[in-house]
């Protein structure tokens, strides 16, 4: 029996019905799903560091459920909604959160996770050439192309999806090169310390 048939037979045995529960995330082991780690790493690198209105406290009145996946090791895995998970893990709130425990395929997990990164394209302070380079080097091309609705990940297609002119992309790209070239100071500033 090949691996695909084995997985399909295994999925027929598993109950694919999602369940919704109120969970205290401080008492449950919540981890990033292994198939979403790359997306979370890029999201953390490129997310906006600007201050914004904290709607986290207002969510007490209406909290959309967090999508989690139950693991065999009694852990719950998140695959998207990185900003909300980040706020929850940082806060010391004792509230319980509605969670939708769903089984997901690997492709669905990757689509949900990489969608978080693709949304960064529309951030006002994003450096498009760096994000494009990171997507080109680290992201699964087929998933990124599917999310962006393009046939290949090129600068022209990226710019079209992001809604920016190619000249803006090239300006950001050249600005970094100029800044690196003009600053003649070494990266290490240890020589300043006596």
d(CA 192, CA 185): 11
Strands 66-70 and 30-32, by their bridges, are: unpaired
Yes or no: say if 25 and 97 are a contact pair by the CB < 8 Å rule.
yes
Average pLDDT of the chain? 80
Quick one: average pLDDT of 128-141?
Answer: 94
d(CA 95, CA 168): 45
d(CA 132, CA 46): 11
Give residue-wise pLDDT tens across range 34-58.
999 999 999 999 988 765 555 555 5
**What dihedral angle (degrees, nearest 10) is formed by the CA atoms of 147, 149, 155, 159?**
-90
Quick one: average pLDDT of 89-116?
Answer: 85
Residue 190 has pLDDT above 70, yes or no: no
Strands of the sheet with 97-101, listed across from one edge:
19-23, 97-101, 66-70, 76-78, 30-32
Nearest by Cα to 113 from 132, 133, 85, 87: 85
Yes or no: say if 131 and 121 are a contact pair by the CB < 8 Å rule.
yes
Q: What is the pTM of this model?
A: 0.75
Give residue-wise pLDDT tens across range 70-102.
887 788 999 999 988 888 777 766 678 888 888
Nearest by Cα to 47 from 132, 120, 141, 156: 120
- H-helix or E-strand spanning residue 78: strand 76-78
Residue 121 has pLDDT above 90, yes or no: yes
> What is the phi/psi pair of residue 68, to 5°?
-130, 160
């Amino acid at each position: 029996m090949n691996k695909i048939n084995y997985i399909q037979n295994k999925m027929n045995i598993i109950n694919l019905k999602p369940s919704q529960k109120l969970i205290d995330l401080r008492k449950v082991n919540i981890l990033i799903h292994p198939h979403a780690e790359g997306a979370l790493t890029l999201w953390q690198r490129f997310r906006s560091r600007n201050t914004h209105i904290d709607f986290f406290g207002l969510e007490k009145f209406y909290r959309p459920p967090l999508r989690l996946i139950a693991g065999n090791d009694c852990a719950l895995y998140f695959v998207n909604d990185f900003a909300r998970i980040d706020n929850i893990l940082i806060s010391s709130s004792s509230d319980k959160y509605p969670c939708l425990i769903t089984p997901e395929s690997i492709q669905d997990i990757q689509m949900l996770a990489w969608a978080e990164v693709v949304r960064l394209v529309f951030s006002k302070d994003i450096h498009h050439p760096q994000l494009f380079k990171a997507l080109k080097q680290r992201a699964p091309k087929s998933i990124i192309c599917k999310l962006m609705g393009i046939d290949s990940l090129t600068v022209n297609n990226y710019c079209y999806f992001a809604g920016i002119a190619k000249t803006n992309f090239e300006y950001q790209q050249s600005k970094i090169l100029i800044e690196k070239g003009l600053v003649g100071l070494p990266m290490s500033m240890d020589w300043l310390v006596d």
